[in-house]
Every structure is written in C-alpha cells, then in structure tokens.
C-alpha cells in the first residue's frame, strides 16, 4: 500500500512570527485522517521570523527531532543545555519524565526554516536527555544516511523509540534503494526539490505513506532533500 499525500493537503497556521505547515493534526489543525502514522506523530515545517521564537514551554514522553534547513535555531533547556542548531545538524531531545525548553531565531534579517518532528517513545517516564550531531552533505549525497535510530548505530543519534530516520540528497542520475520490512511502516517526506520515489513524482512538502512494501527506490531528483522514516506499526 502506498498513499501519496500532497503538500497542499497539510494544515497551515500563520501566527505572524511563525508560519507552520502541519503534516499531521497539531494544535488548532485537526484532521481525523492525519493523526499520525505508526509511531510518527508530528512533522511541522516551521519558519520563524528574525528575533522571535518559542518561549520556554514543557514536554513529556516524546522524542523530538529538530532538522534545520536554513538559518539557525538557538536551543536552551532545563537540562542545562544551550546550543545553536545549524543546517546539517540534527538534534534529538527525549522529553521523558519532563523537560522545559525554548527555541529562538536570533539572526538578524533571516528567517529560520526547520522541521520539528515528534515520535512516540517506547518507554515512558525516562530521564530526559539531549543529543546533537552534524551530518555533512557529502555523507547524504546520492544515498540515504542514517541520522537517528533506536540503537544509535553507524554514528546516528539514539532514539528512545522503535524508529529510524534517514536523510538523503539527490540530483540528476543519483539513485538509492532501501529494503523495507513489510511488517513495518515507512514514511517519505520530501523536504525540498523534486524526486521520484517508487514511481511517484514528489515535490517539496509531498509525502508517501507505505505499508506492506518491500523496497524503496529513489531517483530522478532535482535539488532534492528527503527524509525517510522506518516506523513501528
């Protein structure tokens, strides 16, 4: 089963300082057909205006991944962590038993464009933790680079969730394949550009939800950046 989900079918919120597209139901956007996919709960494509951001707020029992595309995102949390997330960086925060944090765009004259991703954990009430790593473009060029996984293999971030996340960059004749477990779910989110995935042409913001599939084939990209999720059903 393969379902194509167009970018135009996402929810949208304009808060002035924040413009956000919601792949799944979130805040005031509610779509009973889009409550998540497997243990993937949120993909928000956010643009934060210069000098603004999310004030200090709390989370519990959620794996939160930040993937910056343009600009920079300043992160502070109740664990004592202070960091700036740049394009190429991937950050994982396990909210666990409870954490408070803020995210701001301190750059002048430049919006921050990033993806906020929430994945349901497989253990509740764990000690909160934070991890951030940089993945160079050359490691994602023409291939799917594992950037987060349950066991932290291949230098990826460690998730407290039965899930894995790959990132890839594709242009021209670059091509990649990924074997899938038909008993699990896969979700492809095209971040930007254009890309053929299992015979479907995706544009920026489009997604494919896959179930009972054995292989993912990606190619024919035009300045494409893609995220691929391997998920518990």
Q: Residue 60: its pLDDT value, please?
A: 87
As averages over each run of 10 residues, the pLDDT of the chain (233 residues) reads: 97 96 96 96 97 81 95 81 89 86 82 96 91 96 98 97 98 97 98 97 98 97 98 94
pLDDT of residue 134: 97
Q: Does domain 137-231 have CATH number 2.60.120.10?
A: yes
The pLDDT score that the predictor gives to residue 75 is: 77
Q: Which pLDDT score, from 0 to 100, does residue 48 have?
A: 95
C-alpha torsion sign, points 102, 82, 96, 62: positive
Residue 189 has a pLDDT of: 98
Residue ranges, comma separated, of all CATH 2.60.120.10 domains in the chain are 11-134, 137-231
Report the CATH superfamily, name and number, of domain 11-134.
Jelly Rolls (2.60.120.10)
Strand 207-211 relative to strand 185-197, pairing: antiparallel
pLDDT of residue 208: 98
So what's the pLDDT on residue 165?
98
Give the dihedral of Cα atoms 85, 221, 147, 120; nearest 10 deg.
90
């Amino acid at each position: 089963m393969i379902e194509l989900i167009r970018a135009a079918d996402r929810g949208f919120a304009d808060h002035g300082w924040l413009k956000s597209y919601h792949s799944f139901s979130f805040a005031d956007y509610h779509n009973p057909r889009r409550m998540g996919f497997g243990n993937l709960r949120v993909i928000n494509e956010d643009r934060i205006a210069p000098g603004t951001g999310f004030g200090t707020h709390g989370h519990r029992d959620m794996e939160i991944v930040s993937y910056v595309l343009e600009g920079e995102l300043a992160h502070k949390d109740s664990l004592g962590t202070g960091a700036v997330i740049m394009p190429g960086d991937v950050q994982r925060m396990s909210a666990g038993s409870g954490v408070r944090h803020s995210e701001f765009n301190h750059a002048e004259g430049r919006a921050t464009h990033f993806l906020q991703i929430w994945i349901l954990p497989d253990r509740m009430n764990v000690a909160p933790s934070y991890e951030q790593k940089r993945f160079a473009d050359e490691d994602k060029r023409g291939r799917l680079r594992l950037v987060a996984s349950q066991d932290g293999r291949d230098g990826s971030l460690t998730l407290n969730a039965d899930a894995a996340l790959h990132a890839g960059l594709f242009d021209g004749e670059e091509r990649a394949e990924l074997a899938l477990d038909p008993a699990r779910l896969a979700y492809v989110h095209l971040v930007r550009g254009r890309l053929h995935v299992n015979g479907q042409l995706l544009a920026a913001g489009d997604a494919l939800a896959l179930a009972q599939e054995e292989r993912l084939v990606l190619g024919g990209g035009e300045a494409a950046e893609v995220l691929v999720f391997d998920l518990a059903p």
